[in-house]
Amino acid sequence: MKVVLGVSGGIAAYKACELLRLFTESGHQVRVVPTREALRFVGEPTWAALSGNPVATDVWDDVHEVPHVRIGQTADLVVVAPATADLLAKAAHGLAGDLLTNTLLTARCPVVFAPAMHTEMWQHPATRANVATLRERGSLVIDPAVGRLTGADTGPGRLPDPTEIFRICLRVLRGRSLDLAGQKVVVSAGGTREALDPVRFIGNRSSGLQGYALARTAAARGAEVTLIAANVALPDPAGATVVRVESTAELREAVLAASGHADVVVMAAAVADFRPAARHDAKIKKTDGEPEPIHLTKNPDILAELGERRRAAVPGTSPKVIVGFAAETHDVLANGQAKLARKGCDLLVVNEVGEHLAFGTPDNAATVLVAGGEPIEVPRGPKEDVADAVWDAVAARLS
């Protein structure tokens, strides 16, 4: 596959070297097209040596090969990483002052932009309008990550991890459409922890891999994703805004806040049903006698609450599609059907869990139960396959 890697003049240009390697090492032909300003950050020899291809920035090199038209016309994918505010503006307005902007105008393949800039630049109405224009025209603009920016600043504007940008590009190259474009989705992932004392907690084995796959695939399908992560040690999926929580109470607060303006809520996190009735302020000490029993109290049922709020038309909580997950160790389908009916959600993803099943493994098998519809079987495969099956069912319901 022929990939054009556009690089514009942001401090994150050095991270595009890693993206380039990921493409070349997986057998892609990559033509790097940096802007003149990008070369101030990473020089031409680096791009030429890493890609094995010539590198040009303006339209006046090798004119006999008409590169200003050919490079875009023959590409299977154009990805611009990092995309500066300036480049986004030029692309949105159809300017064609250099080789990269000419390539963007001549490309008829999918185009992915991975913006990176200071938060103020990203949030400026001019940039917002340019991003909206590019998205309307069918480009995938990946929301930047939140984190440390140049200097001491932090906020949204950071280039997502190159591995995550690469994963999105591979999906686009495989022909996945942007069928969730314009949809606001909330995904919860991981497992909640309920504190016993300042150092101990009651938790579960959820790794967050399934929830992260859901967030990653939704972003790659064009959705605006808020990922509420409970105790997950994985890199942030590209394009998702990540909110970190620990306990069920924190997860509930974050989900209810985010679902106020969401079209879809997917509750993939393993939420503790119970928590210790009392949290000790100091570490519980070992004693000679028998330890004190731990008394438990019920946690709120967030999935049921979302369903109830929607039924009662509580202002600010009306996602069109609510998806629950059920991890079962026995009577998997019967328990799943009962849960779907009880919780008032639209879809329920049921999977069998056990010591070497589902938790912490890269693959999964599941049945997607559909309220008022036929169940969808998803055979064992990567967790991204389960995620895609869920989004297929969500997209069908949204339409």
Ligand X SMILES: Cc1cc2nc3c(=O)[nH]c(=O)nc-3n(C[C@H](O)[C@H](O)[C@H](O)COP(=O)(O)O)c2cc1C
Helix axes 125-136, 85-93, angle to 10 degrees: 50
**Contact partners, residue 164, CB within 8 Å, separation at least 6:** 216, 235, 236, 237, 238, 239
Catalytic pick from 204, 231, 351, 364?
A: 204
CA distances from 209 to 91, 245, 365, 380 (A): 35, 16, 13, 15
Piece in contact with ligand X (CB under 6 A), picked from 10-18, 219-227, 249-257, 333-341: 10-18
In terms of CB distance, is 39 or 357 closer to ligand X?
A: 39
User: Is 298 part of any known ligand binding site?
Assistant: no
In terms of CB distance, is 94 or 362 closer to ligand X?
A: 94
Q: Phi and psi at residue 226, in whole multiples of 5°?
A: -110, 120
Q: For the chain, give me the number of helices (H) and strands (E)?
A: 14, 19
Contact pattern for ligand X over residues 129 through 168, marking x by CB under 6 A = ---------------------x------------------
Distance of CA 183 to the CA centre of its chain: 13
Interacting residue with ligand X among 46, 57, 84, 210 (CB under 6 A): 84
Piece in contact with ligand X (CB under 6 A), picked from 30-38, 279-287, 322-330, 338-346: 30-38
Interacting residue with ligand X among 22, 55, 81, 116 (CB under 6 A): 116
**For 313, left (φ over 0), alpha (ψ -120 to 50), or beta?**
left
Checking 281-288 for CB contacts under 8 A at 24+ apart, the result is 281/197, 281/198, 282/197, 282/198, 283/197, 283/198, 283/199, 283/200, 284/196, 284/197, 284/200
Q: Cβ 178 to ligand X, closest distance in Å? A: 24
Query: Exposure of 376 by Cβ count < 10 A (0-12 exposed, 13-18 middle, 19+ buried)?
Result: middle
User: Is 303 part of any known ligand binding site?
Assistant: yes
What are the structure tokens assigned to 227, written together?
């990922």
Do 180 and 256 form a contact (C-beta atoms < 8 A)? no
Piece in contact with ligand X (CB under 6 A), picked from 19-27, 116-124, 164-172, 204-212: 116-124
For position 95 contacting ligand X by CB under 6 A, the verdict is: no
For position 35 contacting ligand X by CB under 6 A, the verdict is: yes
Interacting residue with ligand X among 32, 33, 77, 117 (CB under 6 A): 117
Q: Is 204 a catalytic residue?
A: yes
Piece in contact with ligand X (CB under 6 A), picked from 34-42, 201-209, 249-257, 340-348: 34-42
User: Is 325 part of any known ligand binding site?
Assistant: yes
Please tell me the distance from the alpha carbon of residue 91 to that of residue 127, in angstroms, as a whole number.
11
Residues 250-289 that bind ligand X (CB under 6 A): none
For position 392 contacting ligand X by CB under 6 A, the verdict is: no
**Contact partners, residue 136, CB within 8 Å, separation at least 6:** none
Q: Cβ 140 to ligand X, closest distance in Å? A: 18
Interacting residue with ligand X among 6, 33, 79, 86 (CB under 6 A): 86
How many residues of this chain interact with ligand X, rule: CB under 6 A? 16
Q: Which residues bind ligand X (CB under 6 A)?
A: 8-12, 35, 37-38, 84-87, 116-117, 121, 150
- In the annotated binding site, the residues are 273, 283, 300-303, 325, 339, 343
Catalytic residue ranges = 204
